[in-house]
Amino acid sequence: MGEKSQLARQFIEAIPHAQELGMVLTDIGDGTAEISMPYDVKLIGDPDTGVIHGGAVSALMDTCCGAAVMSHPEAPGGTATIDLRIEYMRAATPGQTITTKATCHHISRNVAFVRAVAMDEDRERPVATATAAFSVEAKF
Amino acid sequence: MSRPRPEPMQVVKQRRDAALAALVNSVPYIRFLNINFDRRGDELTGQMNFDQKLIGNPFLPALHGGATAAFLEMTAMMALNWQHLWPKIESGEIDPADLAAGKLPRQPKTIDFTVDYLRSGLPRDAYARATVARSGRRFASVRVEAWQDHKDRPFAQAVGHFLMPQGEDKRDVKKG
């Protein structure tokens, strides 16, 4: 793992909100990141079905997109979300871990563009996708 | 022609507040983020009470964009639900006691949600209000804005599309 990925990993693992939601960084490097979030009853949005709230998926997507930006070889430091759009394709199956993969597909001096996808254990049918723009900061 | 006497204020307030509390308390993630809703007539204002666990950047420090997104989505969804349920609560078709007992109507589903981060969220309470721009039989479009110290300096805004609950009646029958 490069020094950049190491720094990004340290940063992501120090985020209180990500820790609180049980997020685990499973892969990072070269502008891509993978983070998983185990099912937890506190994340439920629909008490009738036990389906996780969309907001928890947003938090996972946002964290993963940010991690992908920070791990990009051309990113000098930290980042902040400018805009995040999430499309919810289906309800995540209750009880299953959600895994997000994000790719920073373009970066300029000021802006990084990211796409992400969230899956539960059924890897054929995504739960949600995201498109985001992040700022490129000089420092952490 | 005489119109019926208005209900006593306590009766009206009790009914509305009980219905709102039942809706809010039913969602574990609302409780986890410690969000509550303030009601003025039918207008709702969400409040996300600050806690260290909402921090996304410990160096600044700033609220996590995901917590902000969840807060906005929650407020949008609650405003939509509330607008949808209000006439039924007022007419007596929905009994707040049933809501509190867990007999909840089906929720709208988020189709997409776009958050615009205007400035970093400060480590303190945040407020949000949503406007239902359109609510049709199938789809609804909702705008929502969040602020902290100054209402006219929002730190995030969002727009979301929702799929309205379909075939409500069938499910009511099934649930008996």
Q: Tell me if B33 and A55 make a contact (CB, 8 A cut-off).
A: yes
Write the pLDDT tens digit of every residue in A44-58.
999 889 999 999 999
Task: Output the six-digit token pair for A55.
Answer: 């907001």
**Average pLDDT score over residue span B11-27:** 91
- The whole-angstrom separation of Cα A64 and Cα A119 is 13
pLDDT exceeds cutoff 90 at A4: no
- Percent of residues, chain B, with pLDDT higher than 90: 73
Split into its structural domains, chain A has a count of: 1
Lowest mean pLDDT across A129-133, B4-8, B31-35, B149-153: B4-8
Query: Residue A75's domain spans which residues?
Result: 3-136
Backbone φ and ψ for B74, nearest 5 degrees, come out as: -60, -45
Interhelix angle B65-91/A54-70, nearest 10 degrees: 160
SS3 sequence, B24-62?
HHCCHHHHHCCEEEEEECCEEEEEECCCHHHEEECCCCE
pLDDT exceeds cutoff 80 at B168: no
Q: Tell me if A84 and B64 make a contact (CB, 8 A cut-off).
A: no
Q: pTM for this one?
A: 0.93
CATH of the domain at A129: 3.10.129.10
Interhelix angle A3-13/A54-70, nearest 10 degrees: 150
Write the pLDDT tens digit of every residue in B49-105.
999 999 999 989 999 999 999 999 999 999 999 999 999 998 989 888 888 888 888
A:32-71 residues touching chain B, CB 8 A cutoff: 41-48, 52-56, 58-63, 66
Task: Report DSSP letters for B111-142, one per residue.
Answer: EEEEEEE-SPPPSS-EEEEEEEEEE-SSEEEE
Sorted by where each starts, the structural domains of chain B and their CATH numbers stand as 9-175 (3.10.129.10)
Chain A residue with the nearest C-alpha to that of B116: A83
What distance in Å separates residue B99's CA from the closest CA in chain A? 12
| Confidence bin at B126 (pLDDT 50/70/90) | very high
Q: Tell me if A84 and B28 make a contact (CB, 8 A cut-off).
A: no
